[in-house]
Amino acid sequence: MDPEIRLALIDDDEAVLDSLRLYLTRKGLKVGCFATAEEFLSDRTRADFSCVVADVRMPGMGGIELVRRLAREGGKPPVVLITGHGHIDMAVSAIKLGAIDFIEKPFDEARLLDAIRGAVHARLEREDATTRLAELRLRHAALSTRQRQVMDLAVLGLLNKEIAQQLAISPRTVEIHRAWVMQRMGARNLAELVRMDMELKEDR
């Protein structure tokens, strides 16, 4: 089931705002309309929006400057830019600054809807990955020094007796430590433990 999407729609063209609001509302999105980027930024509830669609050229702050401003704040919510005056250099600059997509007018409304949904799903996936990594770090930190040593050798594919030889402990002790590692890391098998180890090392 798709997550509920609360969209901020920013465009100084009232006709565009009305047209897109009607279409996107019919598609199940909750849409808030703003005539300028400054109006959006001053809205007390703007942190609740799951995506922003903004025109590139508007009085005052334009869409690209808005992307730059939100990037300084952590890149939330994701931004899809629309423009009637687009070109390749502008699109590349927008994406480098953090925009999720860049769509030229006139555009298919269904194309915009796909971009919005894609941006929201990508954000949720990133947040899930960040949460998972934080949990893995906490679980790993809860291991004893000996348990970490056993884990480091286990993910290399060593057998219990080989780990025992390297650490100068008994195979039975290795077996006990290994069981604790699997339990505390939440790994159902060695393959999962290896993947967890890879995630932790990629983050270092």
Strand, coil or helix: what is 44? coil
Query: Residue 204's pLDDT is what?
Result: 62
Query: Residue 175's pLDDT is what?
Result: 94
Q: What angle do CA 199, 129, 80 make, to 5 degrees?
A: 130
Q: Tens-of-pLDDT digits for all 204 residues of the chain?
A: 456 889 999 999 899 899 999 999 999 999 999 999 999 999 988 888 999 999 988 889 988 899 989 888 876 788 998 887 766 677 777 787 778 888 887 778 898 999 899 888 887 777 777 788 889 999 999 999 999 999 999 998 899 999 999 999 999 999 999 999 999 999 988 888 998 998 888 766
Kindly report the pTM of this predicted structure. 0.65
The fold of the 142-202 domain, in CATH, is Arc Repressor Mutant, subunit A (1.10.10)
CATH of domain 6-128: 3.40.50.2300
Strand, coil or helix: what is 50? coil
Q: Report the alpha-carbon distance of residue 167 to residue 47 in Å, rounded.
A: 51
DSSP H or E segment with residue 181 = helix 171-185
Query: Residue 3's pLDDT is what?
Result: 67
Query: Residue 75's pLDDT is what?
Result: 62
Query: Residue 181's pLDDT is what?
Result: 95
Cα R_g (the chain), whole angstroms:
24
Nearest CA to 7 out of 101, 78, 74, 100 is that of: 78
Two tokens, residue 7? 């969209």
Strand, coil or helix: what is 28? coil
Nearest CA to 79 out of 107, 44, 37 is that of: 37
Q: What residue segments make up the domains of the chain, in order of their start?
A: 6-128, 142-202
Query: Residue 125's pLDDT is what?
Result: 79
Query: Residue 6's pLDDT is what?
Result: 92
